[in-house]
Structure 1
Amino acid sequence: MKTMKIQLAFSSFIFLLFSPFFAAFSSAQDFDFFYFVQQWPGSYCDTRKSCCYPTTGKPEADFGIHGLWPNYKSGAYPSNCDPDSPYQSSTINDLIESLQREWPTLSCPSSDGNPFWEHEWEKHGTCSESVLDQHAYFKATLDLKNKINLLQILNDAGIKPDGGYYSVSSIKDAINKATGFTPWIECNVDEARNRQLYQVYMCVDTSATNLIECPVFPRGKCSDQIEFPPF
């Protein structure tokens, strides 16, 4: 009996010791959907913190990719799932030109984009490795950007980056009408504390291919009327 108790105690110790490893491994394999997030550069730059253009030059006046983020239906999300899978720019050499155009960095100090892409892969991309390796992750994200032309969708609805104010409901309706799915709108504030159109979230299935209705939306809210600043 004493031997059995010792074995049970040892088994419990081993489980507690390695449970963080198993949890991390599980999170790398298990998620419910992706958030595909596009960002308006005019709103990123029109803040007290301002922005820095990439070393490759000022990006086009278009929505840029922020990321493709695995998420759970609970609203939680996995992150930094595989420290043994570091970002390697050599694996995406054929995508660099497209990434510089569609996924530019605006953070300071200026860079060529690699620090931004490294962060996105290691924080978010490693949590989708069960379905997407590094090249496939970036390629799938670029394909989604080509599929969802937000600026054209909004322009067609008379919603333009002219410094004017538009209702959040009209922005959502325009995107829903064009894509068939409901977006989530994130706002930030300019130097005068006016709320402005900052990011648009769309939900994507676990193959990173098809849009779906969002199982859950992020927290946060905008004013009824928000600014769409120029860039």
Structure 2
Amino acid sequence: MLGCCGLCRSNDKDFDFFYFVQQWPGAYCDANKHHCCYPKSGKPAADFGIHGLWPNYEDGSYPSNCDTDNSFDESEIQDLEGKLIREWPSLSCPSSDGLKFWSHEWNKHGTCSESFLNQRGYFQAALNLKEKTNLLQTLRDAGIEPNDEFYNLEDVKQAIQEGTGYEPWIECNQDEEGNSQLYQVYMCVDTSGKNLIQCPVRPRGNCASKIQFPSF
């Protein structure tokens, strides 16, 4: 799984906004055929999965690992685990139950949001944002399907902007044939973790003008 963009500032708890990042599993597995493993619960649904909720600064850098005394505690999210397994699955190898992935995300990123969100609140905020953005349905409403077809990058962006009210940033990767694929969608969120906002800064683009939406 990729980390967040920009330069890291360790142990700095102040931040300006979140990147909320969702990942398309078909693109992850196409680009990592030998490093893609389904969770122990089985193949995830053909839907965007949460990658993370990452505090960032408006200059493009970000805080990380802000509180080593508040490491991941599974007991804090036990009532959310069913939803996390479905909505925030790990595709890395070896196959896992997701705890290592969620632990990494909390320890690296979530601890930097503690002034606004405790551990349970952090994971609940991400689940709420996934439901609010509803990316797959938003794209399907615009006739953009995960069917291995190629779509104009600007059409993908426009569909998400019309569906959510805010412009996304699209990250692409490449499959074994070198095709540019829809991989991750970044939306920006205020420091409460509740409200989408216009992005103050965006990572560098890496998509072709036409991108594939691979099946899964």
Q: How does 1:63-82 map to 2 (within 5 A)?
A: 63-82=48-67
Shift of 1:125: 0.2
Please, which runs of 5 or more residues in structure 1 have no aligned partner? Answer: 1-22
* CA deviation after TM superposition for structure 1 residue 49, in Å: 4.2
Secondary structure at 2:31's aligned position in 1?
A: coil
Match of 1:155 in 2: 140
Alpha-carbon distance in structure 1 between the residues aligned to 2:166 and 2:130: 15
Distance 1:220 1:145 in 2: 23
Matched residue count: 207
Query: Given the alignment of the two structures, is residue 138 of structure 1 paired with residue 112 of structure 2, yes or no?
Result: no
* CA contact 2:170–2:205 (8 Å) conserved in 1: no
- Deviation of 1:220 after TM superposition, in Å, equals 3.1
Aligned to 1:107: 92
Residue 193 of structure 1: how far off its partner (Å): 1.1
Give TM-score, length-normalised by structure 1: 0.88
Query: Are residue 85 (structure 1) and residue 67 (structure 2) matched?
Result: no
State the partner residue of 2:29: 45
SS at match of 2:185: strand
Shift of 1:24: 5.3
Moved over 6 A (4+): none
What's the C-alpha RMSD, in Å, of the aligned pairs? 1.1
Aligned-partner residue type, residue 192 of structure 1:
E
Aligned residue in 2 for 1:12: none
- Counterpart code for 1:42: G
1:139: how far off? 0.5
Match of 1:32 in 2: 16
Which residue identity does 1:143 align to in structure 2?
Answer: N
Partner of 1:68, secondary structure, is strand
Alignment TM-score, normalising by the size of structure 2: 0.94
Letter in structure 2 aligned against 1:226 = I
Could you tell me how far apart the structure 1 residues matched to 2:199 and 2:84 are?
26
In 1, the alpha carbon distance for the partners of 2:182 and 2:160 equals 13
Secondary structure at the aligned position of 1:119 is classed as helix
Which residue does the alignment assign to 1:207? 192
Higher-helix-fraction structure: 1
Rg larger for: 1
